[in-house]
């Protein structure tokens, strides 16, 4: 009788069975959560079906993909729990692409599988499968987009630009933070073009990137940097840290110049920087005073990945992982800057699209660490 480890492919099938069974039990017991922001997507779904203007006008377009998904089930009178089923399936598909990406770039089947399981167990990501919120769909699209972007970088075939361009549009219209992903694609693409000495294409992409940045900074999207929120020194959105009469407004209609004037003249650069770093602490620490002790302990367990992520950043990996590493670093940097100028969410929603990139870096750091231990073991 043969013994030994099961092939990874069989392990993935086992993981899939357990994952889908556990998800089915959770859905049967709790259903999909329809409170809070879910009302916005249901409302927009009805508006689309009735031919009415989207809620929040211009900003509604950056959630339109999810509103269309919800609208499909509303149109055919299907229980909205089916949305959670779609989210669970897409999340598993994203995990498979995550596994394939690690396998291709780190070339270590065991570590790729370990972090594939880590993604499936990643509470900051997976919990949103059971909410009628756009985070789950957005997170799955991010990993799918990253996988196809990596394939284009390694194979550089023009035909692969078509599915990649479609994915970028889907990402853009699934959440406003899709812009961060697209900006990261520009930066990583520039690095790739520079390394491959494609100077003409490099300057073209750089020019397009600069023009796009100028367009974004002069668009209504800057409304997310809210001077009223800055005045209130908000760390958690809609929760003021200082007393004042400034009311909360969801969007800033006064432009970035007003926000910078508030920072300079009313808050002070020092206070702004101090408050910003506190926000980042909340964001990456994930701890919340109003969470249960068990929930906070679970979240703190995920911060154990951060040292490995730092090792992944500062250690040398294969050339195949180089661009993925810089993609992750750029995406994390853009997101951290955004949080610095806005606020963090009370339910840790904003960390969910970031965590797959932390996992990628942690996988590289874990690979490097295990390799060092093996090398020391052989020399003893």
Whole-model pTM? 0.93
- pLDDT tens for 73-101 read 999 999 999 999 999 999 999 999 999 99
Pick the closest to residue 102 from 164, 146, 155 (CA basis).
146
CA dihedral 287, 292, 293, 297 (to 10 degrees): -50
pLDDT of 314 over the 50 cut: yes
CA dihedral 41, 46, 49, 53 (to 10 degrees): -80
Q: Which residues contact 342 (CB under 8 A, 6 or more apart)?
A: 224, 225, 226, 229, 237
157's torsion region: left (phi>0), alpha (psi -120 to 50) or beta?
beta
At 201, the pLDDT band (50, 70, 90 cuts) reads confident
Helices (H), 80-175: 81-106, 109-120, 123-126, 135-155, 161-172
Angstrom distance (rounded) from CA 235 to CA 241? 7
Q: What is the pLDDT of residue 64?
A: 94
pLDDT of 241 over the 90 cut: no
Phi and psi at residue 63, to the nearest 5°: -125, 10
pLDDT of 1 over the 50 cut: no
CB 324 within 8 A of CB 308: no
- In the chain, where are the structural domains located? 80-218+268-379
pLDDT of 3 over the 50 cut: no
Both tokens of 304, joined, read 């154990």
- pLDDT tens for 98-153 read 999 999 999 899 999 999 999 999 999 999 999 999 999 999 999 999 999 998 88
pLDDT of 254 over the 90 cut: no
Angstrom distance (rounded) from CA 272 to CA 263? 7
The DSSP letter of residue 236 is B
């Amino acid at each position: 009788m043969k013994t030994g480890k099961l092939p990874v492919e069989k392990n993935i099938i086992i993981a899939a069975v357990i994952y889908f069974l556990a998800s089915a039990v959770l859905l049967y017991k709790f259903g999909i959560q329809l409170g809070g922001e879910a009302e916005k997507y249901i409302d927009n779904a009805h508006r689309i079906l009735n031919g009415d203007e989207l809620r929040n006008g211009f900003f509604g377009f950056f959630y339109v993909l999810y509103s269309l998904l919800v609208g499909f089930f509303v149109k055919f009178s299907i229980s909205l729990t089916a949305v959670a089923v779609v989210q669970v399936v897409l999340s598993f598909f994203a995990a498979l692409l995550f596994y394939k990406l690690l396998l291709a770039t780190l070339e270590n089947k065991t570590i790729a599988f370990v972090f594939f399981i880590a993604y499936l167990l990643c509470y900051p990501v997976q919990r949103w499968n059971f909410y009628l919120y756009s985070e789950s769909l957005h997170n799955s699209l991010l990993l799918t987009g990253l996988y196809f972007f990596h394939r284009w970088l390694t194979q550089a075939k023009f035909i692969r630009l078509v599915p990649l361009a479609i994915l970028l549009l889907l990402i853009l219209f699934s959440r406003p933070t899709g812009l961060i992903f697209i900006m990261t694609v520009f930066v990583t693409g520039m690095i790739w073009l520079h390394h491959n000495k494609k100077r003409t294409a490099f300057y073209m992409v750089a020019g397009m990137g600069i023009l796009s940045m100028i367009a974004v900074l002069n668009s209504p999207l800057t409304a997310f940097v809210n001077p009223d929120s800055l005045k209130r020194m908000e760390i958690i959105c809609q929760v003021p840290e200082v007393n004042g009469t400034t009311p909360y407004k969801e969007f800033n209609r006064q432009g970035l110049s007003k926000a910078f004037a508030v920072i300079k003249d009313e808050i002070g650069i020092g206070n702004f920087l101090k408050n910003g770093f506190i926000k980042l602490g909340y964001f990456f620490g994930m701890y919340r005073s109003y969470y249960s002790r068990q929930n906070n302990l679970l979240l703190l367990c995920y911060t154990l990945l951060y040292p490995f992520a730092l090792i992944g950043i500062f250690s040398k990996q294969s050339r195949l992982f180089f661009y993925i590493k810089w993609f992750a670093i750029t995406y994390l940097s853009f997101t951290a800057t955004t949080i610095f100028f806005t606020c963090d969410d009370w339910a840790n929603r904003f960390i969910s699209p970031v965590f797959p990139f932390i996992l990628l870096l942690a996988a590289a750091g874990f690979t490097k660490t295990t390799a060092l231990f093996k090398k020391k073991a052989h020399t003893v």
